[in-house]
Every structure is written in structure tokens, then in C-alpha cells.
């Protein structure tokens, strides 16, 4: 499935709907337990909520 455009996140498989998405998809990997947001990132996150 992965070679046909499907993605996996843990136990979930999904296929992005490219025609309904306005932005390019990016894969981001990070160690979530070690991540500390910079001031600008925290400010943008607060504005988006």
C-alpha cells in the first residue's frame, strides 16, 4: 500500500486526498518527548488554536 500513496502512522493507514488539500504534504519526524518549541513556534501554535 505504501508504494501506492498510502501513509502509515502507528496502527493507522490513510491516503491523503491531494485534490482537496491546498498545501504540499511534508513528513516530519522528531523525538516528541525531547521537543521544546521556540518562542515563535509557541506563538504561532497559540494563534492557530
Give me the residue spans of the domains in the chain: 2-48
Q: List pLDDT tens digits, range 1-49.
A: 888 888 888 888 888 887 887 777 777 788 889 999 999 999 999 998 8
Q: Is residue 48 classed as helix, strand or coil in its secondary structure?
A: helix
Tell if the pTM clears 0.75, that is, is over it: no
Rounded to an integer, what distance in angstroms lies between the CA atom of residue 25 and that of residue 16?
9
Asked if 5 contacts 14 with a C-beta cutoff of 8 angstroms, the reply is no
| Side-chain half-sphere exposure of 20, counting CA atoms within 13 A | 3
Amino acid at each position: 500500500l505504501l508504494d501506492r500513496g498510502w501513509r502509515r502512522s502507528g496502527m493507522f493507514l490513510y491516503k491523503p486526498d491531494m485534490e482537496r488539500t491546498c498545501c504540499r504534504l511534508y513528513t516530519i519526524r522528531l523525538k516528541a518527548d525531547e521537543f521544546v518549541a521556540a518562542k515563535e513556534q509557541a506563538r504561532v501554535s497559540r494563534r492557530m488554536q
